[in-house]
């Protein structure tokens, strides 16, 4: 009875870790439309805020394994929870770009630590009969965290709709500012619970054993196992340690086998390609920008947030189905089916967006005329103003005059380019403010990372140039829901294939000798691709449209399908030793 209660506690803490990871990924989608409307930040700055959590995850992924080995799994889990808790007030109380980026960066560091340390902790603490259950609960609660973040966003979208009925622009602006801050505040309690839970559970018995704390390792095992099971596992640890000692040469140096042999190179390259393609499907950006995407597809703010809730529920439910299928159908089968379905759904989504984006009209000359002597521009976007801007564009402008539309402006000061957020003509508070501070970096260091070949001094005095001012008609709500349906199908295929299989395939592909370092490098590539996509997403769709972006995602997924179908071996039902033998070319 005592061990079953502790097992429940262990799985609860692991589940809270997954919940926090999911909230880290999903919380920005509900908050982003209101942050866009009230912060006055450019599309580039908003992209950095979204991408900051991924950048933080990249940073912490690099060092998570090393820190977990040095300081212990339990301490690093608690530290990841503390970082999440600290990030919430930093973001929710932020009054500028810097605190927002730093708070999101902390959230990313927290997510990276959780993603590495919690599964590692589970693998070392749970017995063989419970290991699958623990991993499943972590994955399910991760998707539930995304559902929770979506539900919070939907609640505030309902509140925003009520305020819109008052037809008071100032009050609507104030409530939207309150909404995105509150969305972050509501995510604080799970973080606090995870911190307390991490302090209550025992340290990993295998970490304790490797530290020479044999008695503490046995005590940790006894919290979740019978005395006989604990004694057996402790004996296995001793035998493994003795076997490793036997592999030491007479001079005290470990025998080194070439890391360039096929048994290491092929699985390592396969793992890196699979993880890079996993993010190149665009999944994190589609989740992170989902409400914004659905608004542009033709849905209202409230409908878009409802769509996001549906998307996350699809992810959660299909993930459960995928976990049940993975040991029956196999990793290769699910990855192949999943990536094939992703390709079809992404192409369908791209074609839906292309229908309206082909009607885009560039009114850059009309917007350029609004630039003031101090090289700034302020545009309040409403239906009459949209019609006025379109008046000088001939038949192309007449074709969409009077229709609900969106506006995005791409502009530059010298060598530095930026884009505004997208605003709708039926939004009472829709207003674009363009100034130099949102485009030109304040320091040479920031300028180097934004454009290493740019002339910062010239940009600080250069005139404002409107490169594009794109007005796009908004599709009907019916077309918006059809687009949403294709995105839901994308999410279902991702959840049943890559979502469930990728981490399992990664851990199985990597040979024992290079597993820790190999996984760190592959995860780094995974996070780097995700960060890059999130950082360029808004400026790219502003310039070229969502259709182009979804076609690019589909093209990358073709590489994923080819890799999974033709090159990935089936690892279902095979021991790790059998998988290693396969890559050595042995039968």
Locate all alpha helices (DSSP H) within 476-545, ordered by sequence: 477-494, 500-509, 515-544
Same domain, 119 and 174: yes
* Last residue of one domain, picked from the residues 216, 241, 266: 241
Contacts of 529 (CB under 8 A, 6+ apart): 276, 279, 280
Contact 301, 33 (CB under 8 A): yes
The CA distance from 529 to 278, in Å, is 9
Report the distance separating Cα 343 and Cα 540, nearest Å.
20
Domain boundary among 241, 265, 300: 241
341/336 Cα distance (integer angstroms): 9
Is residue 36 one of the residues assigned to a domain? yes
pTM given for the model: 0.69
Residues 116 and 220 in one domain: no
Q: Is residue 487 included in any domain, yes or no? A: no
Which residues lie below 8 Å from residue 394, measured CB to CB, with a gap of 6+?
Answer: none
Is 152 found in the same domain as 20?
A: yes
C-alpha span between 277 and 560 (Å, rounded): 6
In a domain, 568, yes or no: no
Residues 24 and 98 in one domain: yes
365-402: buried (b, 16+ CB within 10 Å) or exposed (e) per residue?
Answer: ebbeeebeeeeebebebbeeebbebbeebeeebeebbe
How far is residue 349's CA from residue 297's CA, in Å, rounded to a whole number?
Answer: 10
Q: Are 221 and 72 within one domain?
A: no
Of 450, 478, 506, which residue sits at a domain end?
A: 478
With respect to residue 276, please indicate whether it lies within any of the assigned structural domains. no
Residue 342 lies inside a defined structural domain of this protein? no
Contact in structure between 47 and 102 (CB atoms under 8 Å): no
pLDDT (tens, 9 = 90+) of the chain, 587 residues, equals 566 777 777 778 877 887 887 777 677 777 887 887 888 777 667 777 877 777 787 788 778 777 887 888 889 889 999 999 999 999 989 888 888 888 988 988 988 888 778 777 776 776 655 555 566 677 777 778 877 877 787 788 888 888 888 888 888 888 888 888 888 888 888 889 888 888 888 887 877 887 888 888 888 777 777 787 778 777 767 766 676 566 554 444 444 445 555 667 777 788 788 888 888 898 878 887 787 788 888 888 778 878 888 988 898 888 888 877 776 777 788 888 999 999 999 999 999 998 888 888 888 888 999 999 999 998 888 888 888 888 888 888 888 888 888 888 888 898 888 778 778 888 777 788 888 887 888 777 667 656 677 888 999 999 999 988 888 888 888 888 999 999 999 999 998 888 877 766 666 666 655 555 666 677 777 777 876 776 677 667 777 888 889 999 999 999 989 988 888 777 666 645 566 666 665 55
User: 76 and 62 in one domain?
Assistant: yes
Q: How far is 141 from 25, CA to CA, in rounded Å?
A: 13
Q: Are 213 and 197 in the same domain?
A: no
- Whether residues 158 and 216 share a domain: the answer is no
| In a domain? residue 68 | yes
Instruction: Report which DSSP code applies to 375.
Output: S
Q: First CA to last CA across the chain, in angstroms?
A: 46
Residues in a beta bridge with 433 = 378
Least Cα distance to 457 among 469, 447, 472 occurs for 447
- Total residues found in the chain within this entry: 587
Claim to verify: residue 154 and residue 232 sit in the same structural domain: no
Q: Are residues 195 and 209 in the same domain?
A: no
If asked whether residues 431 and 389 sit together in one domain, one would say yes
Domain limits for position 144: 1-201
Buried b / exposed e across 460-478, counting CB within 10 Å, b at 16+?
eebebebebbbbbbbbeee
CATH number of the domain to which 71 belongs:
1.20.1250.20
Angle CA 443–445–447, to nearest 5: 70
Is 197 found in the same domain as 84? Answer: yes
Count structural domains, the chain: 3
Phi, psi of 467 (to 5 degrees): -85, -40
Q: Does residue 331 sit within a domain?
A: no
Asked, for residue 461, whether it belongs to a domain, the answer is: yes
């Amino acid at each position: 009875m005592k061990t079953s209660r502790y097992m429940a506690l262990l799985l609860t803490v692991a589940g809270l870790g997954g919940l926090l990871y999911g909230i880290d990924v999903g919380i920005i989608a509900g908050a982003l439309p209101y942050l866009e409307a009230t912060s006055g930040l450019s599309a580039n700055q908003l992209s950095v805020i979204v991408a900051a959590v991924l950048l933080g995850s990249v940073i912490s992924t690099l060092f998570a394994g090393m820190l977990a080995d040095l300081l212990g799994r339990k301490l690093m889990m608690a530290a990841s929870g503390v970082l999440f808790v600290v990030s919430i007030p930093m973001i929710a109380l932020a009054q500028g770009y810097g605190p927002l980026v730093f708070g999101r960066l902390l959230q990313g560091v927290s997510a990276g630590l959780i993603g590495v340390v919690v599964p590692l902790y589970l693998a070392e603490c749970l017995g063989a009969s419970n290991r699958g259950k623990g991993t499943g609960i972590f994955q399910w609660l991760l998707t539930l965290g995304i559902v929770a973040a979506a539900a919070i966003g939907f609640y505030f979208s309902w509140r925003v709709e009520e305020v819109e009925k008052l037809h008071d622009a100032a009050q609507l602006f104030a409530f939207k500012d309150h909404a995105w801050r509150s969305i972050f505040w509501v995510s604080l309690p799970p973080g606090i619970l995870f911190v307390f839970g991490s302090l209550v559970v025992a340290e990993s018995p295998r970490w304790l054993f490797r530290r020479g704390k044999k008695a503490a390792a046995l005590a940790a095992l006894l919290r979740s196992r019978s005395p006989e099971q604990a004694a057996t596992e402790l004996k296995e640890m001793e035998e493994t340690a003795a076997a490793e000692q036997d592999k030491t040469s007479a001079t005290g140096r470990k025998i080194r086998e070439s890391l360039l042999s096929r048994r290491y190179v092929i699985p390592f390259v396969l793992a890196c390609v699979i993880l890079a393609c996993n993010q190149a499907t665009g999944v994190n950006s589609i989740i992170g920008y989902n409400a914004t995407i659905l608004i542009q597809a033709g849905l209202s703010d409230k409908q878009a947030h409802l769509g996001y809730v549906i998307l996350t529920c699809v992810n959660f439910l299909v993930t459960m189905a995928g976990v049940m299928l993975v040991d029956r159908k196999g990793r290769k089968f699910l990855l192949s089916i999943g990536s094939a379905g992703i390709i079809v759904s992404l192409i369908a989504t791209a074609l839906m967006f292309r229908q309206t984006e082909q009607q885009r009209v560039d009114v850059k000359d009309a917007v350029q005329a609004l630039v003031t002597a101090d090289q700034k521009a302020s545009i309040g976007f409403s239906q009459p103003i949209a019609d006025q801007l379109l008046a000088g564009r001939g038949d192309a402008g007449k074709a969409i005059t009077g229709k609900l539309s969106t506006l995005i402006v791409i502009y530059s000061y010298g060598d530095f380019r930026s884009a505004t957020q997208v605003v709708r003509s039926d939004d009472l508070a829709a207003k674009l403010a363009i100034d130099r501070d949102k485009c030109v970096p304040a320091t040479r260091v920031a300028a180097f990372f934004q454009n290493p070949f740019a002339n910062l001094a010239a940009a600080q005095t250069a005139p404002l140039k409107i490169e594009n001012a794109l007005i796009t008609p908004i599709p009907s709500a019916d077309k918006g829901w059809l687009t949403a349906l294709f995105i839901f199908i994308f999410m279902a295929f991702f959840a049943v294939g890559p979502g469930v299989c990728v981490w399992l395939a990664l851990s199985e592909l990597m040979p024992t000798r290079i597993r820790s370092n190999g996984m760190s490098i592959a995860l780094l590539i995974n996070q780097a691709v995700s960060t890059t996509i999130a950082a360029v997403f808004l400026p790219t769709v502003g310039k070229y449209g969502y259709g182009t972006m979804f076609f690019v995602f589909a093209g990358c997924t073709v590489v994923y399908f080819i890799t999974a179908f033709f090159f990935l071996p089936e690892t279902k039902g095979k021991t790790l030793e059998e998988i290693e033998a396969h890559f050595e070319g042995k039968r």
